[in-house]
Amino acid sequence: MPAAIILAAGLSTRLGRPKQTLVLHGEMLIERAVRIATEAACSPVIAVIIDSLLVDRLLELGAMPLINRNTWQGISSSIQTGLQGAIAAKAEGAVILTCDQPTLTADHLSALAAQPAIITGSGYAGKIGIPAYFPANAFKALLQLQGDTGARDLLREARVVPNESLALDIDTEADLLRAQTLL
């Protein structure tokens, strides 16, 4: 399996508090993302975070915490921070995910990486998005991303693994309540 890059350095402006530390069924969202990536046999599991508060807990979970000191530059800076860890680990590919999609499963991550030479995204809500798998030959293009648009352009022609449940992501208190009710 490829590396996992968990993007957890966002400012959570719509929620008004860090979503990484929200607890859902006894687990912080960041802990849940690490667990799922580990269950999918991703290695290393890289968690891109905004500060050092979660470093010790992430190390306990076996993750590689990397601090993004440039979050103001947008999601591209978190992708690039995570890729630096994946490249250092000589990963043959990377699954990029966030910690705020509570319906994500290890099986879905495994399905994304099932064709290791092909960029593969998740299909939901009429779009192709993350989590998404990128082979190492796509790392150069990912390192050139700028701003807060992420890898949308790279996913336009990607292979798709459908999963409509991923449309639920936690951006607001109402989303959190919905996730607590559904799961």
DSSP, residue by residue, 125-137: TTEEEEEEEEEGG
> Residue 10: which pLDDT band, with cuts at 50, 70 and 90?
confident
> Residue 29: which pLDDT band, with cuts at 50, 70 and 90?
very high
Q: Which long-range contacts (CB under 8 A, 24 or more apart) does 58-64 make?
A: 58/30, 58/34, 61/31, 61/34, 61/35, 62/34, 62/38, 63/6, 63/34, 64/89
d(CA 172, CA 136): 34
Q: Which residue has the tokens 């449309």?
A: 167
In this predicted structure, the answer to whether residue 180 has a pLDDT above a threshold of 80 is yes
Which helix (H) or strand (E) covers residue 27, if one does?
A: strand 27-28
In this predicted structure, the answer to whether residue 133 has a pLDDT above a threshold of 70 is yes
| Domains of the chain, first to last | 3-182 (3.90.550.10)
> What confidence score (pLDDT) does residue 16 get?
64
Secondary structure of residue 33 in the 3-state scheme: helix
DSSP, residue by residue, 48-98: EESSGGGHHHHHHTT-EEEE-TTGGG-HHHHHHHHHHHHHHTT-SEEEEEE
Q: Choose the most confident range, by mean pLDDT, from 64-73, 88-97, 149-158, 166-175.
A: 88-97
Lowest mean pLDDT among 75-89, 150-164, 168-182: 168-182
> What confidence score (pLDDT) does residue 59 get?
97
Supply the mean pLDDT for the chain: 93
> What confidence score (pLDDT) does residue 1 get?
76
In this predicted structure, the answer to whether residue 15 has a pLDDT above a threshold of 70 is no
pLDDT tens digits for 143-168? 999 988 789 999 999 999 999 999 99
- Give the C-alpha distances (Å, rounded to integers) separating 39 from 33, 35, 66, 87, 158: 10, 6, 20, 21, 24
> What confidence score (pLDDT) does residue 12 get?
65
d(CA 106, CA 68): 25
